[in-house]
Amino acid sequence: MSKEFAEPRNASLTASTSSGTQVNPDTAAICQTAENKEVKKKTRTYFNFYEEWAKLLEKGDAYFGDSSTDENSKDSGESTTSMAVKQQQEEEPKATPVHGQNSVGANLLNSQKKNSAKNTFATPQSKLSKPLDEDKENEDKKNVELKIKDFFKQITVIDKTYIILNVLGKGGSSTVYDCFNPQTKTACAIKCVSLNCDKEQEKSFINEVKTLVKLQGCHRIIKLYAYQILTDKKRLFVVLEKGGKDLAIILRELVNSSTHMPLYMVIYYWMEMLYAVKEIHDRGVIHSDLKPANFLEVNGRIKLIDFGIASSVQSDMTSVIKNVSLGTFSYISPEALSNDSSTNDDSPNYGKQKFKISFKSDVWSLGCILYQLIYRKTPFQHIVQPLQKFVAISNPDHKINYPPVDWVPERIIKTMQDCLQYDMRSRPSVDDLISQYEAIYK
């Protein structure tokens, strides 16, 4: 058994109560992290293996002690201790439960008193004072550990082993696993990335880790626990905080619902998104790919994830220049699609693509998400052809439709219109938006 599975001697995974034996809260908490029946089954099996090992420690010399038999037990192979216990159970009358104690507890109490008088087996205190058969103990530990390894796949990151419970998602070059840390008894998400990809993708994966390191300490940014780059194997492992549903799942459920989202929930998600984006803007980071799937629920709070194409802005600047257009089509800003390359033949940048991105580009994306919260679709979702959608988003003369909605205040419609202005300089900042709504809803 590895050190990560080690527990103090006499440890138990169950707790005795007046109503019987219950699963330890640690066990129940971990089992609740499983999101489907198969994962729950695997999680429960892990704890059965773990409990088997823990019980071996609890039994002490009653399990590992003298195995010699008396004349009456030689044929059956039962130990003197086992026979004494069996005889005692046959002779002993049932105990009457006392107040606050169940019958199991009463019988156990009487059993311990009689055994102490007869000296037929060691009490727990004396049992712990005797040395264990270390070879036998180690062998049983090893067997339990092998069972765990056979049943579960594992990931090791910087000498820590995590148990894989499920697959949370897959991308082109990466897979995200739902994992369990047996040392801390906590859940986490591990992103496993193959760096056998083109240079731009590899740069994106490395950029995400660097940006997350910069943003640690922010309360509304996903936590980065550890990461490891294996250059020889071209692999990257990122250990992250595990959350619940992302906003994309919530919006899909909304589409299938016969009723709209309650107004207070719209305001809640809107303010949570604003607070999260404010944290990165205050630290000079433009996300560039804000969309519902990148807002994750974690312990009742919305946190921001996926910083693959994020950019850091110099302290004396308000925008950055990119040589490629990146983002998710339904939420990308017009400036992220508008090539601003030089037309001067003498310029070294002549003919090279240039896209100017600012903090206000994230505001456009937020406006698209707010639009989706209200209308259950994005502003350009009705345009099916990609080229036509590209033209519509890039065209400042295109008119976005805002149908009247009886349950939505006019101020929210006005907020969408402000965020979805083609001139990014006319859009409000995230700080402006927060101030407007905090003044109303305090």
191 is in an annotated binding site: yes
HEC profile of the chain: CCHHHCCCCCCCCEEEECCEEEECHHHHHHHHCCCCHHHHHHHHHHHHHHHHHHHHHHHCHHHHCCCCCCHHHCCCCCCHHHHHHHHHHHHCCCCCCCCCCCHHHHHHHHHHHHHHHHCCCCCHHHHHHCCCCHHHHHHHHHHHHHHHHHHCCEEEECCEEEEEEEEEEECCCEEEEEEEECCCCEEEEEEEEECCCCHHHHHHHHHHHHHHHHHCCCCCECCEEEEEEECCCCEEEEEECCCCCEHHHHHHHHHCCCCCCCHHHHHHHHHHHHHHHHHHHHCCEECCCCCHHHEEEECCEEEECCCCCCEECCCCCCEEEECCCCCCCCCCCHHHCCCCCECCCCCCCECCCCEEEEHHHHHHHHHHHHHHHHHCCCCCCCCCCHHHHHHHHHCCCCCCCCCCCCCCCHHHHHHHHHHCCCCHHHCCCHHHHHHHHHHHHC
Q: Locate tokens 């009247």: which residue? A: 404
8 A C-beta contact, residue 412 and residue 264? no
Q: Quick check: is 289 catalytic?
A: yes
Rg (CA), the chain: 31
Compute the distance between CA of residue 286 and CA of residue 309 in angstroms, rounded to an integer.
9
316 C-beta neighbours (distance < 10 Å), count:
5
Compute the distance between CA of residue 59 and CA of residue 63 in angstroms, rounded to an integer.
5
Diameter over CA atoms, the chain: 107
Q: Tell me which of 140, 289, 306, 362 is the catalytic residue.
A: 289
Binding residues for ATP, as ranges, are 191
Binding residues, as ranges, are 191
Catalytic residue numbers read: 289
